[in-house]
Amino acid sequence: MLILIPGLLLFIGIHSLRLIAPSQRESMIGRLGAGTWKGLYSVVSLIALAMIIHGYSLTRLNPVVVFTPDVWTRHMALLFTWLAFILLAAGFIPHNHLKARLGHPMYAGIKIWAFAHLLANGRLGDLLLFGTFMVWAIAGFSFRRRQDRRLQIIAPAGNMQGTLITLVAGSIAWGIFALWLHVWMIGVYPLPF
């Protein structure tokens, strides 16, 4: 927990600047320049992500079991993470119906991803990691939606081509992650078969 918690604070902190301190963020971008800011932001994010991954792996060495989930929760987690990957793709691919409807599909995807993992994992480290991301994503989604309404920001309309590309890209990314990257990065094979 000594590495996981600071990693979470650093990662969530840097990704919350736009939400909690937009003027300070803009001031830093103005002082440093957009390129330097993006580089610094990326370096801090990668360090924090490495701390989260390493800290989370350490929590699995001496796990504190809070509850033992049923087997069916792993099947549900697969379905939810598939939806989450589609929503994450929707944040990057222009002119899709999901982005047009939700405005901020990445936050929605992170919420679903975190919920899926909370459903299927019952250790203290799991609850801390995924619970933190879920609370952050709920708060971020709510804040950005209110901000959009206040500033009258409307997402561009979606079309069938953008939506189909989003569905295919999200599904392919989910398959690659579920079949190979999850076990390589996390050390756990997520498929229940």
pLDDT surpasses 80 at 59: yes
Exposure string (b/e) for 150-169, b if CB count within 10 Å is 16 or more?
A: eeeeebeebeeebbebbbeb
Predicted local confidence at residue 20, as pLDDT: 87
Q: Give per-residue pLDDT as tens, 119-136.
A: 999 999 999 999 999 999
Query: Is the same domain home to 48 and 97?
Result: no
| Same domain, yes or no: 19 and 31 | yes
- Say which residue the tokens 């952050």 belong to: 136
Number of domains in the chain: 2
Residue 168 has pLDDT above 80, yes or no: yes
Tell me the whole-structure pTM to 2 decimals: 0.90
Residues 30 and 77 in one domain: no
- 5 and 48 in a single domain? The answer is yes
- Domain with 39, as residue range(s), is 1-62
Alpha helices in 91-179 (DSSP H): 97-102, 105-120, 124-151, 160-176
**CB-CB contact of 29 with 37 (8 Å):** yes
58 and 71 together in one domain = no
Do 87 and 54 have their domain in common? no
Given 62, 87, 105, the domain boundary residue is 62
Q: Confidence band (pLDDT; 50, 70, 90) for 31? A: very high
Query: Which own/partner contact pairs does 181-185 have at CB distance under 8 Å and 24+ positions apart?
Result: 185/53
Examine the domain organization and report whether 70 and 139 are in the same domain: yes
Are residue 177 and residue 88 in the same domain, yes or no?
A: yes
Q: Assess whether 37 and 132 both reside in one domain.
A: no
Residue 192: the pLDDT is 67
Do residue 100 and residue 155 come from a single domain?
yes
Instruction: List phi, psi (to 5°) of 91.
Output: -70, -20
Nearest C-alpha neighbor of 81 from the set 171, 162, 188, 11:
171
Question: Which pLDDT score is estimated for 193?
Answer: 64
Last residue of a domain, one of 43, 62, 81: 62
- Residue 89 has a pLDDT of 98
Q: Which residues contact 116 (CB under 8 A, 6 or more apart)?
A: 76, 77, 78, 79, 80, 81, 84
Looking at the fold, whether 57 and 93 belong to one and the same domain comes out as: no
Q: Does the structure show a pLDDT above 90 at 186?
A: no
Query: Which of the listed residues 62, 78, 113 is the one where a domain comes to its end?
Result: 62
Q: Are residues 57 and 91 in the same domain?
A: no
Question: What pLDDT, in 10s, does the model give residues 91-113?
Answer: 999 999 999 999 999 999 999 99
